[in-house]
A and B are shown apart, each in its own frame.
Chain A
Amino acid sequence: MLYAILCYHDEDFVGSWSKEQDAAVIKKLRVVQDNLAKQGRLGPVARLLPTTAAATLRKEDPPLVIDGPYAETKEQLLGFYLVDCKNLDEALDVARDLGAANPGGAYEVRPVGTFMPGGLSK
Protein backbone atom coordinates (compact mmCIF):
# COMPACT_ATOMS: atom_id res chain seq x y z
CA MET A 1 0.00 0.00 0.00
CA LEU A 2 1.21 3.50 -0.79
CA TYR A 3 1.50 5.99 2.03
CA ALA A 4 2.10 9.69 1.86
CA ILE A 5 4.28 10.99 4.65
CA LEU A 6 3.52 14.69 4.95
CA CYS A 7 6.15 16.74 6.75
CA TYR A 8 4.96 19.50 9.05
CA HIS A 9 7.37 21.74 10.87
CA ASP A 10 7.80 25.24 12.25
CA GLU A 11 9.00 27.16 9.25
CA ASP A 12 10.81 29.83 11.29
CA PHE A 13 12.75 27.10 13.02
CA VAL A 14 13.78 25.31 9.85
CA GLY A 15 14.60 28.70 8.31
CA SER A 16 16.95 29.44 11.24
CA TRP A 17 19.17 26.47 10.57
CA SER A 18 22.61 27.40 9.41
CA LYS A 19 23.71 26.06 6.03
CA GLU A 20 25.76 23.42 7.84
CA GLN A 21 22.84 22.35 10.03
CA ASP A 22 20.58 22.11 7.00
CA ALA A 23 23.13 20.04 5.12
CA ALA A 24 23.61 17.75 8.12
CA VAL A 25 19.86 17.05 8.36
CA ILE A 26 19.59 16.40 4.62
CA LYS A 27 22.52 14.02 4.79
CA LYS A 28 20.91 11.99 7.57
CA LEU A 29 17.57 11.93 5.77
CA ARG A 30 19.34 10.74 2.63
CA VAL A 31 20.49 7.61 4.48
CA VAL A 32 16.89 6.71 5.34
CA GLN A 33 15.76 7.48 1.79
CA ASP A 34 18.54 5.48 0.15
CA ASN A 35 17.66 2.50 2.27
CA LEU A 36 14.03 2.68 1.13
CA ALA A 37 15.06 3.30 -2.47
CA LYS A 38 17.25 0.18 -2.50
CA GLN A 39 14.20 -1.85 -1.52
CA GLY A 40 12.22 -0.19 -4.29
CA ARG A 41 9.82 1.35 -1.80
CA LEU A 42 10.53 5.04 -2.29
CA GLY A 43 8.36 7.12 -4.61
CA PRO A 44 8.54 10.84 -5.31
CA VAL A 45 10.09 13.06 -2.62
CA ALA A 46 9.65 16.84 -2.50
CA ARG A 47 10.93 19.63 -0.33
CA LEU A 48 8.74 22.67 -0.75
CA LEU A 49 9.98 26.25 -0.86
CA PRO A 50 8.94 28.56 2.02
CA THR A 51 5.23 29.33 2.33
CA THR A 52 6.03 32.96 1.52
CA ALA A 53 6.39 31.76 -2.08
CA ALA A 54 2.93 30.15 -1.99
CA ALA A 55 -0.38 31.37 -3.36
CA THR A 56 -3.74 29.83 -2.48
CA LEU A 57 -6.74 29.62 -4.76
CA ARG A 58 -9.99 29.60 -2.82
CA LYS A 59 -12.59 27.88 -4.96
CA GLU A 60 -15.29 30.43 -4.47
CA ASP A 61 -17.28 31.84 -7.31
CA PRO A 62 -15.30 33.51 -8.77
CA PRO A 63 -12.18 31.81 -7.42
CA LEU A 64 -10.16 33.99 -5.09
CA VAL A 65 -6.35 34.04 -5.10
CA ILE A 66 -4.70 34.71 -1.76
CA ASP A 67 -0.98 35.19 -1.22
CA GLY A 68 0.52 32.75 1.21
CA PRO A 69 -0.25 29.22 2.36
CA TYR A 70 -3.71 27.68 2.83
CA ALA A 71 -3.53 27.58 6.62
CA GLU A 72 -1.96 30.24 8.81
CA THR A 73 -0.54 27.85 11.35
CA LYS A 74 2.78 27.74 13.10
CA GLU A 75 3.59 24.36 11.64
CA GLN A 76 3.38 24.22 7.88
CA LEU A 77 3.50 21.54 5.20
CA LEU A 78 7.13 21.71 4.14
CA GLY A 79 7.48 18.56 2.06
CA PHE A 80 6.33 15.02 1.45
CA TYR A 81 7.39 11.46 0.65
CA LEU A 82 5.54 8.64 -1.04
CA VAL A 83 6.53 5.24 0.31
CA ASP A 84 5.36 1.70 -0.29
CA CYS A 85 4.57 -0.05 3.02
CA LYS A 86 2.69 -3.21 3.98
CA ASN A 87 0.67 -1.52 6.68
CA LEU A 88 0.43 1.47 8.96
CA ASP A 89 2.98 0.03 11.41
CA GLU A 90 5.56 -0.17 8.69
CA ALA A 91 4.77 3.34 7.47
CA LEU A 92 5.07 4.67 11.02
CA ASP A 93 8.46 2.95 11.26
CA VAL A 94 9.60 4.88 8.22
CA ALA A 95 8.27 8.08 9.77
CA ARG A 96 10.15 7.25 12.99
CA ASP A 97 13.39 6.77 11.07
CA LEU A 98 12.88 10.06 9.24
CA GLY A 99 12.00 11.74 12.53
CA ALA A 100 15.21 10.54 14.17
CA ALA A 101 17.14 12.19 11.33
CA ASN A 102 15.09 15.39 11.47
CA PRO A 103 13.63 16.01 14.93
CA GLY A 104 10.81 18.39 15.79
CA GLY A 105 7.51 18.99 14.03
CA ALA A 106 5.27 16.13 12.93
CA TYR A 107 4.66 13.66 10.13
CA GLU A 108 1.15 12.96 8.95
CA VAL A 109 1.04 9.41 7.64
CA ARG A 110 -1.77 9.06 5.14
CA PRO A 111 -2.71 6.17 2.86
CA VAL A 112 -2.85 7.08 -0.82
CA GLY A 113 -6.08 6.41 -2.72
CA THR A 114 -5.24 7.15 -6.32
CA PHE A 115 -1.69 7.51 -7.49
CA MET A 116 -0.72 8.65 -10.94
CA PRO A 117 3.03 8.70 -11.36
CA GLY A 118 2.69 11.32 -14.10
CA GLY A 119 5.51 12.04 -16.43
CA LEU A 120 7.43 15.26 -16.23
CA SER A 121 9.35 16.20 -19.32
CA LYS A 122 11.99 18.82 -19.00
Chain B
Amino acid sequence: MTDTAWIDAALTSARPQAVGALLRYFRNLDTAEEAFQNASLRALKSWPQNGPPRDPAAWLIMVGRNAAIDEVRRERFKAPLPEDDQAISDLDDAEEQLAERLDGSHYRDDILRLLFICCHPELPATQQIALALRIVSGLTVKQIARAFLVSEAAMEQRITRAKARIAEANVPFETPGAVERGERLAAVAAMIYLIFNEGYSASGDTAGVRGALCEEAIRLARLLLRLFPGEPEIMGLAALLLLQHARTAARFDATGELILLEDQDRTLWNQTMITEGLALIDKAMRHQRSGPYQIQAAIAALHARAEKPEDTDWRQIDLLYGALEVVQPSPVVTLNRAVAVSKVRGAEAALEMIEPLAPRLANYFHFFGVRGAFLMQLGRNDEARVAFDRAIALANTSAEAAHIRKHLDRLMRDSALTSAKTGK
Protein backbone atom coordinates (compact mmCIF):
# COMPACT_ATOMS: atom_id res chain seq x y z
CA MET B 1 0.00 0.00 0.00
CA THR B 2 1.38 3.40 -0.85
CA ASP B 3 1.79 6.02 1.85
CA THR B 4 -1.10 8.17 0.67
CA ALA B 5 -3.48 5.23 0.36
CA TRP B 6 -2.50 4.22 3.88
CA ILE B 7 -3.04 7.73 5.22
CA ASP B 8 -6.39 7.99 3.43
CA ALA B 9 -7.61 4.84 5.15
CA ALA B 10 -6.31 6.05 8.51
CA LEU B 11 -8.03 9.42 8.12
CA THR B 12 -11.29 7.80 7.04
CA SER B 13 -11.32 5.38 9.94
CA ALA B 14 -10.38 8.04 12.52
CA ARG B 15 -12.83 10.57 11.16
CA PRO B 16 -16.07 9.81 13.07
CA GLN B 17 -14.27 9.71 16.38
CA ALA B 18 -12.11 12.78 15.70
CA VAL B 19 -14.89 14.98 14.29
CA GLY B 20 -17.15 13.79 17.12
CA ALA B 21 -14.62 14.84 19.77
CA LEU B 22 -13.95 18.17 18.05
CA LEU B 23 -17.69 18.79 17.95
CA ARG B 24 -17.79 18.18 21.70
CA TYR B 25 -15.19 20.93 22.18
CA PHE B 26 -16.48 23.49 19.73
CA ARG B 27 -20.21 22.75 19.58
CA ASN B 28 -20.26 23.87 15.98
CA LEU B 29 -20.22 21.55 13.00
CA ASP B 30 -18.31 23.90 10.70
CA THR B 31 -15.61 24.59 13.27
CA ALA B 32 -15.25 20.89 14.03
CA GLU B 33 -15.05 20.01 10.36
CA GLU B 34 -12.52 22.74 9.65
CA ALA B 35 -10.39 21.67 12.60
CA PHE B 36 -10.40 18.10 11.33
CA GLN B 37 -9.53 19.32 7.85
CA ASN B 38 -6.56 21.27 9.21
CA ALA B 39 -5.38 18.30 11.22
CA SER B 40 -5.67 16.05 8.16
CA LEU B 41 -3.52 18.42 6.12
CA ARG B 42 -0.88 18.34 8.82
CA ALA B 43 -1.10 14.57 8.95
CA LEU B 44 -0.42 14.36 5.23
CA LYS B 45 2.78 16.33 5.80
CA SER B 46 3.91 14.81 9.05
CA TRP B 47 2.96 11.13 8.89
CA PRO B 48 5.00 10.14 5.85
CA GLN B 49 8.09 11.66 7.51
CA ASN B 50 7.62 10.76 11.15
CA GLY B 51 5.69 7.58 10.69
CA PRO B 52 2.08 7.06 11.68
CA PRO B 53 1.06 7.90 15.24
CA ARG B 54 0.02 4.98 17.40
CA ASP B 55 -3.46 6.41 17.79
CA PRO B 56 -4.32 8.46 14.68
CA ALA B 57 -7.67 9.66 16.08
CA ALA B 58 -6.08 11.04 19.26
CA TRP B 59 -3.39 12.75 17.18
CA LEU B 60 -6.00 14.36 14.90
CA ILE B 61 -8.15 15.51 17.82
CA MET B 62 -5.19 17.12 19.58
CA VAL B 63 -3.79 18.81 16.49
CA GLY B 64 -7.22 19.84 15.21
CA ARG B 65 -8.16 21.30 18.55
CA ASN B 66 -4.97 23.30 18.89
CA ALA B 67 -5.23 24.61 15.36
CA ALA B 68 -8.80 25.77 15.95
CA ILE B 69 -7.87 27.41 19.25
CA ASP B 70 -5.12 29.36 17.49
CA GLU B 71 -7.67 30.38 14.92
CA VAL B 72 -10.08 31.62 17.57
CA ARG B 73 -7.27 33.55 19.27
CA ARG B 74 -6.39 35.29 16.03
CA GLU B 75 -10.04 36.19 15.54
CA ARG B 76 -10.16 37.58 19.05
CA PHE B 77 -7.60 40.24 18.20
CA LYS B 78 -9.51 41.23 15.12
CA ALA B 79 -13.00 41.40 16.56
CA PRO B 80 -14.53 42.23 19.92
CA LEU B 81 -15.54 39.27 22.03
CA PRO B 82 -18.84 37.77 21.01
CA GLU B 83 -21.58 38.22 23.58
CA ASP B 84 -22.05 34.57 23.90
CA ASP B 85 -18.52 33.42 24.49
CA GLN B 86 -19.58 29.94 25.53
CA ALA B 87 -17.35 28.37 22.91
CA ILE B 88 -14.31 30.24 24.06
CA SER B 89 -14.71 29.49 27.73
CA ASP B 90 -15.13 25.88 26.71
CA LEU B 91 -11.85 26.12 24.88
CA ASP B 92 -10.09 27.30 27.98
CA ASP B 93 -11.42 24.33 29.89
CA ALA B 94 -10.31 22.09 27.10
CA GLU B 95 -6.85 23.56 27.14
CA GLU B 96 -6.45 22.82 30.80
CA GLN B 97 -7.26 19.24 30.06
CA LEU B 98 -4.59 19.05 27.46
CA ALA B 99 -3.46 15.79 28.88
CA GLU B 100 -6.96 14.38 28.63
CA ARG B 101 -6.76 10.70 28.13
CA LEU B 102 -8.22 9.87 24.77
CA ASP B 103 -8.74 6.34 25.91
CA GLY B 104 -12.12 5.93 24.33
CA SER B 105 -14.21 6.89 27.35
CA HIS B 106 -15.84 9.54 25.18
CA TYR B 107 -15.66 7.40 22.07
CA ARG B 108 -19.20 6.10 22.12
CA ASP B 109 -20.91 9.38 23.03
CA ASP B 110 -18.89 11.40 20.53
CA ILE B 111 -19.74 9.22 17.57
CA LEU B 112 -23.36 8.91 18.64
CA ARG B 113 -23.73 12.67 18.96
CA LEU B 114 -22.38 13.05 15.47
CA LEU B 115 -24.76 10.44 14.03
CA PHE B 116 -27.73 11.83 15.95
CA ILE B 117 -27.10 15.35 14.69
CA CYS B 118 -27.01 14.14 11.10
CA CYS B 119 -30.34 12.37 11.67
CA HIS B 120 -31.99 15.31 13.37
CA PRO B 121 -35.77 14.98 12.96
CA GLU B 122 -35.98 18.49 11.49
CA LEU B 123 -33.91 17.41 8.50
CA PRO B 124 -35.57 15.76 5.50
CA ALA B 125 -34.12 12.36 4.63
CA THR B 126 -32.21 13.63 1.60
CA GLN B 127 -30.38 16.15 3.78
CA GLN B 128 -29.71 13.59 6.51
CA ILE B 129 -28.01 11.28 4.05
CA ALA B 130 -25.97 14.02 2.42
CA LEU B 131 -24.85 15.40 5.77
CA ALA B 132 -23.88 11.99 7.13
CA LEU B 133 -21.88 11.15 4.03
CA ARG B 134 -20.09 14.48 4.28
CA ILE B 135 -19.55 14.71 8.05
CA VAL B 136 -19.31 11.11 9.23
CA SER B 137 -17.98 9.35 6.16
CA GLY B 138 -15.90 12.25 4.90
CA LEU B 139 -16.89 11.90 1.25
CA THR B 140 -16.22 15.07 -0.73
CA VAL B 141 -19.15 17.15 -1.96
CA LYS B 142 -18.11 16.13 -5.47
CA GLN B 143 -18.24 12.43 -4.61
CA ILE B 144 -21.65 12.76 -2.96
CA ALA B 145 -23.00 14.81 -5.88
CA ARG B 146 -21.87 12.15 -8.33
CA ALA B 147 -23.44 9.38 -6.30
CA PHE B 148 -26.77 11.21 -6.22
CA LEU B 149 -26.54 12.25 -9.85
CA VAL B 150 -26.94 15.95 -9.05
CA SER B 151 -24.65 18.89 -9.70
CA GLU B 152 -21.93 19.74 -7.24
CA ALA B 153 -23.49 23.15 -6.61
CA ALA B 154 -26.85 21.57 -5.80
CA MET B 155 -25.24 19.15 -3.36
CA GLU B 156 -23.20 21.91 -1.76
CA GLN B 157 -26.41 23.83 -1.23
CA ARG B 158 -28.18 20.81 0.22
CA ILE B 159 -25.42 20.32 2.79
CA THR B 160 -25.26 24.02 3.63
CA ARG B 161 -29.01 24.07 4.17
CA ALA B 162 -28.81 21.04 6.43
CA LYS B 163 -26.12 22.69 8.54
CA ALA B 164 -28.08 25.93 8.74
CA ARG B 165 -31.14 24.04 9.90
CA ILE B 166 -29.16 22.31 12.61
CA ALA B 167 -27.76 25.64 13.75
CA GLU B 168 -31.30 27.08 13.87
CA ALA B 169 -32.71 24.06 15.64
CA ASN B 170 -30.36 24.73 18.55
CA VAL B 171 -29.48 21.09 18.86
CA PRO B 172 -28.56 20.14 22.39
CA PHE B 173 -25.06 18.71 22.43
CA GLU B 174 -25.65 16.53 25.44
CA THR B 175 -26.01 12.86 24.67
CA PRO B 176 -29.74 12.04 24.80
CA GLY B 177 -31.31 9.89 27.51
CA ALA B 178 -32.34 6.25 27.13
CA VAL B 179 -35.79 6.75 25.57
CA GLU B 180 -34.72 9.42 23.13
CA ARG B 181 -31.65 7.41 22.33
CA GLY B 182 -33.82 4.48 21.25
CA GLU B 183 -35.85 6.70 18.92
CA ARG B 184 -32.80 8.38 17.48
CA LEU B 185 -31.09 5.04 17.02
CA ALA B 186 -33.97 3.98 14.78
CA ALA B 187 -33.51 7.19 12.78
CA VAL B 188 -29.79 6.50 12.34
CA ALA B 189 -30.54 2.94 11.21
CA ALA B 190 -33.10 4.26 8.72
CA MET B 191 -30.59 6.79 7.40
CA ILE B 192 -27.97 4.06 6.88
CA TYR B 193 -30.56 1.92 5.09
CA LEU B 194 -31.41 4.84 2.79
CA ILE B 195 -27.75 5.33 1.90
CA PHE B 196 -27.57 1.65 1.04
CA ASN B 197 -30.69 1.81 -1.11
CA GLU B 198 -29.35 4.79 -3.02
CA GLY B 199 -26.44 2.61 -4.06
CA TYR B 200 -28.45 -0.57 -4.49
CA SER B 201 -31.10 0.95 -6.72
CA ALA B 202 -28.48 2.26 -9.14
CA SER B 203 -28.81 0.92 -12.63
CA GLY B 204 -26.01 -0.79 -14.49
CA ASP B 205 -24.50 2.32 -16.02
CA THR B 206 -24.20 4.13 -12.68
CA ALA B 207 -23.66 1.07 -10.49
CA GLY B 208 -19.92 1.72 -10.32
CA VAL B 209 -20.18 5.20 -8.83
CA ARG B 210 -23.23 4.60 -6.71
CA GLY B 211 -22.28 1.12 -5.55
CA ALA B 212 -19.72 2.76 -3.28
CA LEU B 213 -22.68 3.97 -1.24
CA CYS B 214 -23.50 0.35 -0.39
CA GLU B 215 -20.00 -0.23 0.97
CA GLU B 216 -20.18 2.99 2.96
CA ALA B 217 -23.56 2.01 4.42
CA ILE B 218 -22.12 -1.33 5.52
CA ARG B 219 -19.17 0.43 7.15
CA LEU B 220 -21.58 2.73 9.02
CA ALA B 221 -23.76 -0.21 10.06
CA ARG B 222 -20.73 -2.00 11.53
CA LEU B 223 -19.75 1.22 13.30
CA LEU B 224 -23.24 1.50 14.78
CA LEU B 225 -23.20 -2.14 15.77
CA ARG B 226 -19.94 -1.66 17.63
CA LEU B 227 -21.64 1.11 19.61
CA PHE B 228 -24.71 -1.08 20.28
CA PRO B 229 -23.30 -4.62 20.15
CA GLY B 230 -26.36 -6.19 21.79
CA GLU B 231 -29.08 -4.53 19.69
CA PRO B 232 -30.71 -7.22 17.51
CA GLU B 233 -32.25 -4.77 15.04
CA ILE B 234 -28.83 -3.26 14.32
CA MET B 235 -27.49 -6.79 13.79
CA GLY B 236 -30.46 -7.31 11.46
CA LEU B 237 -29.68 -4.11 9.59
CA ALA B 238 -26.02 -5.04 9.09
CA ALA B 239 -27.02 -8.57 8.06
CA LEU B 240 -29.58 -7.28 5.58
CA LEU B 241 -27.10 -4.94 3.91
CA LEU B 242 -24.41 -7.61 3.72
CA LEU B 243 -26.72 -10.26 2.30
CA GLN B 244 -28.06 -7.90 -0.36
CA HIS B 245 -24.67 -6.49 -1.27
CA ALA B 246 -23.24 -10.02 -1.57
CA ARG B 247 -25.22 -10.39 -4.80
CA THR B 248 -23.78 -7.29 -6.47
CA ALA B 249 -21.51 -9.06 -8.96
CA ALA B 250 -24.43 -11.15 -10.20
CA ARG B 251 -27.05 -8.41 -10.47
CA PHE B 252 -26.16 -6.91 -13.84
CA ASP B 253 -25.15 -8.43 -17.14
CA ALA B 254 -22.37 -7.12 -19.40
CA THR B 255 -24.71 -4.58 -20.99
CA GLY B 256 -25.83 -3.25 -17.61
CA GLU B 257 -29.20 -4.99 -17.65
CA LEU B 258 -30.70 -6.09 -14.38
CA ILE B 259 -30.64 -9.85 -13.76
CA LEU B 260 -33.41 -11.13 -11.51
CA LEU B 261 -32.60 -13.23 -8.46
CA GLU B 262 -33.87 -16.39 -10.18
CA ASP B 263 -31.55 -15.93 -13.15
CA GLN B 264 -28.43 -14.84 -11.31
CA ASP B 265 -25.21 -16.86 -11.44
CA ARG B 266 -25.07 -17.75 -7.76
CA THR B 267 -21.39 -18.65 -7.91
CA LEU B 268 -20.77 -14.90 -8.26
CA TRP B 269 -22.32 -14.19 -4.88
CA ASN B 270 -19.78 -13.04 -2.30
CA GLN B 271 -19.57 -15.92 0.17
CA THR B 272 -17.63 -13.99 2.82
CA MET B 273 -20.35 -11.35 3.01
CA ILE B 274 -23.02 -14.04 3.09
CA THR B 275 -21.24 -15.80 5.95
CA GLU B 276 -21.02 -12.57 7.91
CA GLY B 277 -24.67 -11.76 7.21
CA LEU B 278 -25.81 -15.23 8.27
CA ALA B 279 -23.70 -15.04 11.44
CA LEU B 280 -25.29 -11.72 12.35
CA ILE B 281 -28.87 -12.81 11.76
CA ASP B 282 -28.11 -15.97 13.71
CA LYS B 283 -26.90 -13.86 16.63
CA ALA B 284 -29.87 -11.50 16.40
CA MET B 285 -32.44 -14.30 16.53
CA ARG B 286 -31.13 -15.42 19.91
CA HIS B 287 -32.52 -12.23 21.43
CA GLN B 288 -36.07 -13.12 20.38
CA ARG B 289 -36.88 -9.46 19.83
CA SER B 290 -37.91 -9.43 16.22
CA GLY B 291 -38.12 -6.33 14.07
CA PRO B 292 -38.36 -5.25 10.43
CA TYR B 293 -34.63 -5.38 9.69
CA GLN B 294 -34.26 -8.82 11.21
CA ILE B 295 -37.23 -10.17 9.27
CA GLN B 296 -35.97 -8.73 5.99
CA ALA B 297 -32.50 -10.10 6.73
CA ALA B 298 -34.02 -13.52 7.46
CA ILE B 299 -35.74 -13.41 4.06
CA ALA B 300 -32.47 -12.42 2.36
CA ALA B 301 -30.78 -15.25 4.29
CA LEU B 302 -33.20 -17.81 2.85
CA HIS B 303 -32.31 -16.67 -0.65
CA ALA B 304 -28.60 -16.71 0.19
CA ARG B 305 -28.84 -20.25 1.54
CA ALA B 306 -30.44 -21.62 -1.64
CA GLU B 307 -27.73 -22.92 -3.95
CA LYS B 308 -30.24 -23.17 -6.79
CA PRO B 309 -33.40 -21.04 -7.24
CA GLU B 310 -35.57 -24.15 -6.90
CA ASP B 311 -34.06 -24.80 -3.45
CA THR B 312 -35.57 -21.55 -2.13
CA ASP B 313 -37.79 -22.06 0.89
CA TRP B 314 -40.73 -19.99 -0.42
CA ARG B 315 -43.06 -21.27 2.29
CA GLN B 316 -40.82 -19.80 4.97
CA ILE B 317 -40.42 -16.59 2.97
CA ASP B 318 -44.21 -16.30 2.75
CA LEU B 319 -44.41 -16.64 6.55
CA LEU B 320 -41.68 -14.06 7.10
CA TYR B 321 -43.39 -11.55 4.81
CA GLY B 322 -46.56 -12.24 6.77
CA ALA B 323 -44.67 -11.30 9.95
CA LEU B 324 -43.29 -8.21 8.24
CA GLU B 325 -46.83 -7.17 7.24
CA VAL B 326 -47.71 -7.16 10.94
CA VAL B 327 -44.78 -5.06 12.18
CA GLN B 328 -44.45 -2.84 9.13
CA PRO B 329 -47.67 -2.93 7.10
CA SER B 330 -47.18 -1.59 3.59
CA PRO B 331 -48.56 -2.42 0.14
CA VAL B 332 -44.99 -3.02 -1.07
CA VAL B 333 -44.49 -5.71 1.58
CA THR B 334 -47.73 -7.38 0.52
CA LEU B 335 -46.60 -7.20 -3.11
CA ASN B 336 -43.38 -8.98 -2.18
CA ARG B 337 -45.29 -11.54 -0.18
CA ALA B 338 -47.46 -12.21 -3.24
CA VAL B 339 -44.36 -13.32 -5.15
CA ALA B 340 -43.72 -15.93 -2.47
CA VAL B 341 -47.40 -16.89 -2.50
CA SER B 342 -47.29 -17.40 -6.27
CA LYS B 343 -44.51 -19.97 -5.75
CA VAL B 344 -46.32 -21.76 -2.93
CA ARG B 345 -49.99 -21.52 -3.92
CA GLY B 346 -49.88 -20.40 -7.53
CA ALA B 347 -50.37 -17.25 -9.57
CA GLU B 348 -54.14 -17.13 -9.11
CA ALA B 349 -53.91 -16.78 -5.32
CA ALA B 350 -51.09 -14.28 -5.71
CA LEU B 351 -53.06 -12.15 -8.15
CA GLU B 352 -56.02 -12.12 -5.81
CA MET B 353 -53.73 -10.93 -3.05
CA ILE B 354 -52.41 -7.92 -4.97
CA GLU B 355 -55.64 -6.71 -6.61
CA PRO B 356 -56.67 -4.64 -3.55
CA LEU B 357 -53.28 -2.89 -3.68
CA ALA B 358 -53.99 -1.36 -7.11
CA PRO B 359 -55.24 2.05 -5.93
CA ARG B 360 -52.25 2.57 -3.63
CA LEU B 361 -49.63 1.30 -6.08
CA ALA B 362 -51.10 2.94 -9.18
CA ASN B 363 -47.76 4.57 -9.96
CA TYR B 364 -45.43 1.84 -8.77
CA PHE B 365 -43.29 0.17 -11.41
CA HIS B 366 -42.91 -3.15 -9.57
CA PHE B 367 -46.66 -3.52 -9.06
CA PHE B 368 -47.28 -3.68 -12.79
CA GLY B 369 -44.19 -5.80 -13.43
CA VAL B 370 -45.32 -8.38 -10.87
CA ARG B 371 -48.97 -8.21 -11.95
CA GLY B 372 -47.96 -8.74 -15.56
CA ALA B 373 -45.85 -11.73 -14.61
CA PHE B 374 -48.75 -13.35 -12.69
CA LEU B 375 -51.15 -12.74 -15.58
CA MET B 376 -48.64 -14.20 -18.02
CA GLN B 377 -48.33 -17.32 -15.85
CA LEU B 378 -52.12 -17.66 -16.00
CA GLY B 379 -52.09 -17.33 -19.80
CA ARG B 380 -54.01 -14.04 -19.69
CA ASN B 381 -51.62 -12.55 -22.21
CA ASP B 382 -53.62 -9.50 -23.32
CA GLU B 383 -54.01 -8.30 -19.75
CA ALA B 384 -50.36 -9.07 -19.12
CA ARG B 385 -49.34 -6.90 -22.05
CA VAL B 386 -51.33 -3.96 -20.66
CA ALA B 387 -49.65 -4.35 -17.27
CA PHE B 388 -46.17 -4.58 -18.82
CA ASP B 389 -46.79 -1.47 -20.95
CA ARG B 390 -47.77 0.40 -17.82
CA ALA B 391 -44.64 -0.88 -16.03
CA ILE B 392 -42.37 0.37 -18.81
CA ALA B 393 -44.02 3.79 -18.61
CA LEU B 394 -43.25 3.85 -14.88
CA ALA B 395 -39.73 2.39 -15.02
CA ASN B 396 -37.18 4.34 -12.97
CA THR B 397 -34.12 3.13 -14.83
CA SER B 398 -33.37 1.93 -18.31
CA ALA B 399 -32.43 -1.47 -16.84
CA GLU B 400 -35.92 -1.84 -15.35
CA ALA B 401 -37.57 -0.97 -18.64
CA ALA B 402 -35.31 -3.32 -20.58
CA HIS B 403 -36.19 -6.14 -18.22
CA ILE B 404 -39.94 -5.72 -18.78
CA ARG B 405 -39.40 -5.47 -22.53
CA LYS B 406 -37.95 -8.97 -22.41
CA HIS B 407 -41.24 -10.23 -20.98
CA LEU B 408 -43.15 -8.39 -23.69
CA ASP B 409 -40.96 -9.90 -26.40
CA ARG B 410 -41.71 -13.32 -25.02
CA LEU B 411 -45.44 -12.61 -25.06
CA MET B 412 -45.19 -11.50 -28.69
CA ARG B 413 -43.29 -14.65 -29.62
CA ASP B 414 -45.79 -16.84 -27.80
CA SER B 415 -48.81 -15.23 -29.43
CA ALA B 416 -47.14 -15.36 -32.87
CA LEU B 417 -46.55 -19.04 -32.24
CA THR B 418 -50.16 -19.58 -31.18
CA SER B 419 -51.60 -17.80 -34.20
CA ALA B 420 -49.28 -19.76 -36.49
CA LYS B 421 -50.53 -23.01 -34.93
CA THR B 422 -54.20 -22.12 -35.06
CA GLY B 423 -53.81 -20.64 -38.53
CA LYS B 424 -55.26 -17.28 -37.45
- Interface residues in chain A, defined as those with a beta carbon under 8 Å from any beta carbon in chain B: 10, 12-13, 15-19, 21, 24-25, 49-53, 55, 65-68, 74, 103-104
Given that A25-B1, A49-B276, A53-B279 are contacting pairs, would A103 and B6 also be in contact in the complex, using a CB cutoff of 8 Å? yes
> Nearest-CB distance from A72 to chain B (Å)?
8
Q: How far is A65 from B5 in the complex, measured between Cα atoms in Å?
A: 38
In the assembled complex, which residues on chain A have CB atoms less than 8 Å from the CB atom of B80? none
In the assembled complex, which residues on chain B have CB atoms less than 8 Å from the CB atom of A104? 6, 52
Chain B residue nearest to A65 (CB atoms) is: B286
Contact assessment for A16 and B1 in the assembled complex, using a CB-CB cutoff below 8 Å:
no
In the assembled complex, which residues on chain A have CB atoms less than 8 Å from the CB atom of B6? 103-104
Contact assessment for A16 and B230 in the assembled complex, using a CB-CB cutoff below 8 Å:
no
Selected A-B contacts with CB under 8 Å, 21 pairs: A15-B219, A16-B9, A16-B10, A16-B12, A21-B5, A49-B275, A49-B276, A51-B226, A52-B222, A52-B226, A52-B280, A53-B279, A55-B283, A66-B230, A67-B229, A68-B226, A68-B229, A74-B55, A74-B104, A103-B1, A103-B6
Contact assessment for A13 and B230 in the assembled complex, using a CB-CB cutoff below 8 Å:
no
Q: How far is A49 from B283 in the complex, measured between Cα atoms in Å?
A: 14
> B247-277: contact bitstring with A at CB < 8 Å (1 yes, 0 no)?
0000000000000000000000000100110
Contact assessment for A10 and B13 in the assembled complex, using a CB-CB cutoff below 8 Å:
yes
In the assembled complex, which residues on chain B have CB atoms less than 8 Å from the CB atom of A17? 9
Q: How far is A68 from B283 in the complex, measured between Cα atoms in Å?
A: 10
Q: How far is A53 from B282 in the complex, measured between Cα atoms in Å?
A: 9
Would you list which residues of chain B between 209 and 241 have a CB under 8 Å from chain A?
A: 215, 219, 222-223, 225-226, 229-230, 235, 238
> Nearest-CB distance from A105 to chain B (Å)?
10
Q: Which one of A13, A24, A50, A55 lies within 8 Å of B222 (CB-CB)?
A: A50
Contact assessment for A16 and B55 in the assembled complex, using a CB-CB cutoff below 8 Å:
no
> B2-44: contact bitstring with A at CB < 8 Å (1 yes, 0 no)?
0001100110111000000000000000000000000000000
B contact residues, total (Cβ < 8 Å): 29
Chain B interface mostly helix, strand, loop or mixed? helix
Contact assessment for A13 and B276 in the assembled complex, using a CB-CB cutoff below 8 Å:
no
In the assembled complex, which residues on chain A have CB atoms less than 8 Å from the CB atom of B219? 15-16
In the assembled complex, which residues on chain A have CB atoms less than 8 Å from the CB atom of B238? 52
Contact assessment for A21 and B9 in the assembled complex, using a CB-CB cutoff below 8 Å:
yes
In the assembled complex, which residues on chain A have CB atoms less than 8 Å from the CB atom of B286? 65
Given that A16-B219, A21-B5, A66-B230 are contacting pairs, would A52 and B225 also be in contact in the complex, using a CB cutoff of 8 Å? yes
Q: How far is A52 from B284 in the complex, measured between Cα atoms in Å?
A: 11
Q: Which one of A19, A21, A55 lies within 8 Å of B1 (CB-CB)?
A: A21
Contact assessment for B230 and A68 in the assembled complex, using a CB-CB cutoff below 8 Å:
yes
In the assembled complex, which residues on chain A have CB atoms less than 8 Å from the CB atom of B1? 21, 24-25, 103
> Nearest-CB distance from B19 to chain A (Å)?
14
Contact assessment for B104 and A13 in the assembled complex, using a CB-CB cutoff below 8 Å:
no
In the assembled complex, which residues on chain B have CB atoms less than 8 Å from the CB atom of A13? 9-10, 13, 56
